[in-house]
Amino acid sequence: MMCPGANSYGSDFAALDFDFDCDDAVPCILCNQMFTVMKDEQPLLRHLSIEHKFTIGAVEQVADLRQYVLYWGKLRDLELQDYCVVINTNSEPGAKGPVETFYLLCNKLPEDNKLRLALSHMKLKYIVEQKEKERSDISFSRKCIYCSETVTGGVTNCFHHLTFQHGFSVGNPDNIIYGAKLLDLLEEKLHKLLCLYCEKTFKTHKVLREHMRKLQHRHLNPKNKIYDKFYLRNYLRPGTPWEEAKRDLDVESDTESFSGDRGERSHHDELLWTDWREDDTLPTTCLFCHFTTTKVPNGLFHHMRVHHKFDFEYITKKFSFYQQVKIVNFIRLCMVEHRCVRCQVVFATSEILQHHLSGSDHCKLPDRRVWDLPRYHIPVFENDGLLCHLDDNEMHDAETGSCCSPQDDVMVVPEDILPHSNSILKDSRLREEINGMDSGDVYGSVMCLFCLYTASGDHAHVQVYSHMRSLHCFDFTEVMKELSFYNQVKLINYIRWKTAKSECYFCGQVFSRTDSMEEHRVLANHITLPDSELYEDKRWLQPILEEDGLLQRLREAGDSDDEDPDHPDSSRDEVVFSEEVNLPPSILSDEAVRKELLENVHPHLSVLFTEDD
C-alpha cells in the first residue's frame, strides 16, 4: 500500500510500503536476521547493540519503527561513519580495555530528521482517517468485557457502557484509536484473571472482581506501554507516555469548555493552580452527557453550567451533603434508564433523551419529593468521582453560625457521645426496676449495629431494621436472608466488634469519627454482605453485646450451618446454644385415656383399636 503523497518525499522512500497496520517481520538494518518490531522492538535493539555496535537514538520518538528499519536497510551497502555519530571507547592514552567503535543513528543527521518528521506526519494522517472510520461505523457491536450485555451503535458506545454501567473509564472515547483492539486486549487480560491496574493474577473471576472493586483498580496500568498505541495524542507527540497525554487532553478539554474571553481563561488557569492536589483524582463524567475530566469542580461544573444550563454548585448550596449525594445518584439513574430528569418521561435511546433535554430545557431538578428518597443514597456508579468532590454544607453552616430551616429534611449523623460519669442509669437496681416495668417485653432491647440508637418492646427489632435502612443504608433483612442462623449470629457480633473499633466492617478501614465512617460506607457501597472469610470464624459466636436483643430475635427453626439441610455435614463441629430440655411423658401414652378418646370420636374405632392392640 502506497501512502498518498509519498512520492513528494523523493526516491529514497521507494523501499517503504507505508502499511501502518502491518506488523510483519523486517530484516535487521545491517543483516538479514528478521524481527517483529511492531510487537516488541527490544530484540532488534539488543541485536544491533551486541552484534553490530549500533544504536538508534530516541527510538521511542519514531512514529513507525517498521518503516524506519525498512528505510535504513540501505546502510548495509554504505559507510556507517557517513551517516552515524562515531563513538570510540577506551581510546584515551593508558586505557586497559580494547578499543571499540559504536555507531549512533539519530535525528542530528538531516536525512534521519526528515525521515522521522515524514513518518510522523503520514502516520498521523493515517490514524486520523482510521479514527473517522471507527467513529462513523455504527454497525459495530460487541459483548461487554464485564457483563453479558451486547452493546451496539459503534465502539464509542462500548466505552460509554463501561464508564456509565461499570464505573470503568479509560478516558474520552474520542481520544482512543483502535478501540476494538483495546477491548480485545482488556478482555484477554480479564480472561487470564489479571487485574487491569496492578496486573496481579487471581484464582477466580469472583476474587478478581472483588479485588478490582474494593481497591478501585478499575482503570489501566499507567506504567504499561502496551496502551500507548491506543491514544491519539501519542501520534501527535511520539514517545509521550499515554497517561501524560491523557492528562494533557483533560486540561485541553476543560479549557475548551470556557469561552474565548482572555480574562476568563486567565481566571481559569489561576483556579487550576489553586485547586491543585497531590493525590490522583478519578475521571469524573458529566451528569447529563459523556464529557469526562479529572478537573472538578472547575472543568466539570463549568461544563454543566455552560452546556446544560445546570449550575450544580448554586442549586445544591443549601442542601446537606447527603442530599447532594441523592441528587447525583438520582440524575445518574435517570440517564441510565433513559428517563428525563424533569418530567420523568422514559425514552427509547440515550440520543433521543439528549435531544429532549436540550430542546425542552429539562436539565433541572423535579419536585423534592421525587429525588429526596433514601434509596438514592446508594451510588449508581462505583467509584463515582463526583461524589468525592461534594461539599459538606452543614460543616460550613456550623462554622458560619447559620442553621437550616425547620422544614428542611436534614439527615442526622450519629456522633461519638462522651459517657457521663454521674449518670443515674449506672445504678444497677434502678435499671432492673425500669426493665421490669415492661412485663410484656420477653426479649431485651435492640441496639443498632452502627450507632447508639436503641428500641424496646415486641416490635423493637422492626424499628431498628427501619432505622438502619434509612439512616445507615443497611438493609438488615436483605443482607441476612441467605444466611443460616449461626452465620447470622456471627455476622452481627462481627459488625458490632468492628463498629466498636471504628472500623468499616466491609474493608477494615479505620476512622477517627463515626460520621466519617458512615460517609465512607455509603460512598464506597460497603453496605452489603462482606466476604464470608471475615465473619465465619467460630469466635464470632460469642456475643459482643450482653443480652443482645437483636440476637434474641433471630429466627431459629430449621436453621443449620449446612448448605444442604437434607444432607448435613457430619464433619462439622455442632454448636449447641441451649441446654437439653426434658419434656414430661405425653398424656396420650396412657392406654385408658387413648381408648376413651377414640370411643368418644367414633364408637366403632374402639373395635379397631382393640384388634390392633
Same domain, 592 and 524: no
Q: Which domain holds residue 600?
A: 586-613
The three grid cell numbers given for residue 489, joined into one nine-digit string: 449470629
Same domain, 144 and 80: no
Q: How many whole angstroms separate alpha carbon 532 and alpha carbon 551?
A: 19
Is 562 part of any domain? no
The three grid cell numbers given for residue 464, joined into one nine-digit string: 431498628
Predicted pLDDT at 431 = 57
Q: Which of 79, 109, 127 is the last residue of a domain?
A: 127
State percent of the chain over pLDDT 70.
71
Is 80 part of any domain? yes
Same domain, 26 and 100: yes
Same domain, 151 and 117: no
According to DSSP, the residues that pair with 592 across neighbouring strands are none
Same domain, 276 and 395: yes
Q: Which of 195, 223, 244 is the last residue of a domain?
A: 244
Q: Which of 400, 434, 465 is the last residue of a domain?
A: 400
Same domain, 543 and 461: yes
Same domain, 119 and 175: no
Same domain, 484 and 371: no
Is 338 part of any domain? yes
Is 141 part of any domain? yes
Same domain, 204 and 331: no
Predicted pLDDT at 605 = 43
Residue 580, amino acid: E
Is 417 part of any domain? no
How many domains does the chain divide into? Answer: 5
Same domain, 284 and 378: yes
The three grid cell numbers given for residue 36, joined into one nine-digit string: 517483529
Predicted pLDDT at 505 = 92
Burial of 98 (0-12, 13-18, 19+ CB in 10 A): exposed
Alpha carbon 277 to its chain's center:
21
Is 501 part of any domain? yes
Q: Could you write out the DSSP letters of every residue in 403-419?
A: ---TTS-PPPPP-PPPP
The three grid cell numbers given for residue 203, joined into one nine-digit string: 484464582
Q: How many whole angstroms separate alpha carbon 479 and alpha carbon 521?
A: 15
Low-confidence ranges of the chain (pLDDT < 50): 1-2, 4-10, 249, 252-280, 394-421, 437-441, 556-584, 601-613
**N-to-C CA span, the chain:** 103
- What are the angstrom distances between the C-alpha of 116 and each of 67, 112, 154, 372? 10, 6, 33, 59
Is 408 part of any domain? no
Same domain, 107 and 203: no
Same domain, 31 and 165: no
- What are the angstrom distances between the C-alpha of 245 and each of 183, 196, 210, 222, 280? 20, 19, 30, 11, 15
What phi and psi values does residue 176 have, to the nearest 5 degrees?
-110, 135
Decide: 245 and 237 in contact? Cβ < 8 Å.
yes
Is 393 part of any domain? yes
Which of 511, 489, 487 is closest to 499 using CA atoms? 511
**pTM over 0.85, yes/no:** no
